[in-house]
Amino acid sequence: MVQESQPPEETPLGNDTNKRRIPVLVMWYLPVIDRLRRMFLNPKEAALMTWWDDERKVDDDTIAHPADCSQWQAFDAKYKAEFSDDPRNVRFGLSTDGMNPFNERMTDHSTWPVILTMYNLPTYLCQKRKYLLLTILISGPKQPGIDIDVFLEPLMQEMERLWRYGEPVYDAFRREDFICKAIIFVTTNDYPALFALSGQFKGKIGCLVCLDGTK
């Protein structure tokens, strides 16, 4: 059943209480945990989630996967009991940037998608559309700027829950339940987006680590 809305009654000049107001920004959030559960319910995809530990070829002179990096290995050594003992625990890469979905260069509309990449997967699958998790879509017309942390809060709460406590997930490949944990291991951005994510004013500093005193 479709109900047609009646046009609003005319209001005196200066009274805009009945006018439609356009929101400055609109956000959609797509939870991560449910999609992880669905992925582990597929035996083939559940097997891929431990590829980095089971089938990855290790070459000391080559970095062919994020697991070959010293940061990954140092993290595993530091949080062995809490996280790295189970290779099924998920390591995400977060990336975001502004884009114009209407393909018009003359407009200042800016939409920001926030995407998670699963680095447990083989290198040739990490960036495939099927395995890129769109978690947040911040629709313009203006960019969120350094207030992007307000929009990232639902994702950060979910990631904190996955890091501290984990979630019960059924592994269809090994046919067992386990507690799945996850972290955001790295972020990939250009400098303007990096300044926004770190809460810094764009162009005011040259280094996000040293902060003051850098040009």
185 touches 75 (CB < 8 A): yes
| Of 12 and 153, more confident | 153
Nearest residue to 120 via CA among 168, 81, 171: 171
**Could you report the per-residue pLDDT of 125-175, keeping only the tens digit for each?**
988 999 999 999 988 777 887 788 888 999 999 999 999 999 999 999 999
User: Looking at residue 100, what is its pLDDT?
Assistant: 80
User: Looking at residue 3, what is its pLDDT?
Assistant: 44
Measured on CA atoms in the order 154, 156, 161, 162, is the torsion positive or negative? positive
Model's pTM, two decimal places? 0.79
CA 129 to centroid of chain Cα atoms: 14
User: Looking at residue 196, what is its pLDDT?
Assistant: 79
- The mean pLDDT value of the chain amounts to 83
User: Looking at residue 206, what is its pLDDT?
Assistant: 64
